[in-house]
Amino acid sequence: MSSTLLLNSDASPVSILPLSIISWQDAIRYLVIDKASVLEWYEDRIVRSEHWETRIPAVMMLNDFQKRKNIIRFSKQNVFLRDMYLCQYCNIEVNKKTATLDHVLPISHGGITDWLNCTTACSSCNSRKGNNKKIKPKQTPYRPNYYFLVNRRLKLGWEVPHPSWNNYLTLIDK
């Protein structure tokens, strides 16, 4: 149905990697238990119970500050973000649906799934490489830090379900 952007008490998103979005059900819970206050509403989306009705929050701000975690976890999406969705073998841009995770040293040759052995590849390059350990990517895989990935994420932008989100997401850049 709808998701809600969750902001910290300083009006910035609680998390950028991934963006702090909660379900509309959690947003209603936060509202009822007074954990957060609503900044923007979806005008056309209403939730009703037998004795109560409310619009669904589009943007909420926590009442208490939540400390940010500056630790990044290894994930396919974070590897794709590190490589900016470019195939590291043919340098062609791939999208979220066509990007594949390639092991530089194949698992069959003792490779592991971590930052230093995984890279972004298009499906044709990944198939062509197979379990060949002699084919190397143009850029050696590395472990990025949190701020590097945040800057990459900011460059890509967001698809926002409600225009009011832009008011709060543009504050990150400044």
pLDDT tens-place string over residues 47-98 = 998 998 999 999 999 999 999 888 899 999 999 999 999 999 999 999 989 9
Encoding tokens for residue 134? 């002699």
pLDDT tens-place string over residues 4-48 = 999 999 999 998 888 999 999 999 999 999 999 999 999 998 999
What 3-state class would DSSP assign to 148?
A: helix
Name the segment(s) of the chain with CATH classification 1.10.30.50. Answer: 76-143
Phi and psi at residue 62, in whole multiples of 5°? Answer: -65, 145
Is the N-terminal amide bond of 163 cis, ω within 30° of 0?
no
CA distances from 2 to 27, 51, 58, 59, 132 (A): 10, 22, 8, 11, 45
Q: Which residues contact 32 (CB under 8 A, 6 or more apart)?
A: none
**pLDDT bracket for residue 156 (50, 70, 90):** confident
Q: Does the pLDDT of residue 1 top 70, yes or no?
A: no
Query: pLDDT at position 171, please?
Result: 60
What's the CA gap between 145 and 140, in Å, rounded?
16
Encoding tokens for residue 138? 């143009």
CA distances from 21 to 3, 99, 115, 146, 161 (A): 6, 24, 26, 19, 11
CA distances from 68 to 9, 10, 71, 157 (A): 12, 12, 9, 20
CATH topology of domain 76-143: DNA Binding (I), subunit A (1.10.30)
Tokens 């499906």 identify what position? 123
